[in-house]
Amino acid sequence: MSVKLLVSRKRERGLRTLSFDFILLIYQYKKFSKENSVEGEVMAEWNQILRRKEYSQENPDEIVVNLASILEKRKFKRVLDLGCGTGRHVIYLAEGGFEAYGADISETGVKQTNTRLRSRKLEAEIIKCDMKSIPFIDSCFEAVICVRTIYHQKLKEIRETISEIHRVLKKNGLLLTNFHAKRSSKYRKGIKIEENTFMQENGPERGVLHHFVDENELRELLKDFKIVDLEAKEKMRDGYLRSHFNVLAEKTSALWISKVSKL
């Protein structure tokens, strides 16, 4: 399918006029979708999980609301919600006037997000993909949100995801993400898959991986970014300590980071 035809079909659907950059995004997505298939087993797990009511929240996370204010001040518009689930943050961003994109490995998540967008008459582009292989061109997003999802992988896969996020972010673009902390009561619970990575044996996320970090590992994972804000959040729920890190990081040049690290 040609780029020209893709643009025509988008206009027939009543979407806004597309920029040249966005045309490239569509073209790249079509190209990648043929070359890369998602991991079926992981997708099947999340298809089941996202059908549960507690995983279809309406209200945005507080840290996403705070990020929106920062994006407005920087005049950033194009935002990707990576691991968007059923779309609460995509909807929030679209309602706020951002050029919102969502990506999720779950077909259920993609369908529910599109349904919720249509019911609100909102515009956003939603695709199904593996976050380790983001099907967009380099340096095309001003911000990437990856909340409550990146830690559901092995360490090697988390590194690959962070590398992909770095690739698709523009220089000085922002990444908002979070990680499970080792202080969490869930740490070392379940089946050990590798160091600091465990598979839950029961509950709604049975069979799902959880990787846990401390601050040193977190900073090492984000070594190619400048950490703008790092916050440790903890609360007790049902007798369990929930501990995680919220991180806001900025893509900068490797040269700049190396100079800072030597100071």
Summarize pLDDT for 101-147 with one digit per residue, the tens: 999 999 999 999 999 999 999 999 999 999 999 999 999 999 999 99
In order, the DSSP letters of 56-68 are: S--SPPHHHHHHH
For each of the domains in the chain, give its residue range(s) and CATH number, in order of start.
36-261 (3.40.50.150)
Ranges of residues in the chain with a pLDDT under 70 are 1-56, 253-263
Residue carrying the six token digits 């030597």: 262
* Per-residue confidence (pLDDT) for residue 205, from 0 to 100: 79
The dihedral through the CA atoms of 154, 247, 92, 54 has a sign that is positive
* Per-residue confidence (pLDDT) for residue 10, from 0 to 100: 42
Q: How far apart are CA 247 and CA 4, in angstroms?
A: 39
Q: Which helix (H) or strand (E) holds 8?
A: helix 3-12
* Per-residue confidence (pLDDT) for residue 58, from 0 to 100: 80
Q: Which helix (H) or strand (E) holds 261?
A: helix 254-261
* Number of residues written out for the chain: 263
| pTM for the full predicted model | 0.83
Q: How far apart are CA 175 and CA 147, in angstroms?
A: 10
* Per-residue confidence (pLDDT) for residue 56, from 0 to 100: 63
The dihedral through the CA atoms of 214, 252, 151, 145 has a sign that is positive
Residue carrying the six token digits 């990146």: 150
Task: Assess contact for 174 and 70: CB atoms under 8 A.
Answer: yes
In order, the DSSP letters of 56-111 are: S--SPPHHHHHHHHHHHHHT--EEEEET-TTSHHHHHHHHTT-EEEEEES-HHHHH
Distance of CA 122 to the CA centre of its chain: 20
Task: Assess contact for 181 and 243: CB atoms under 8 A.
Answer: yes
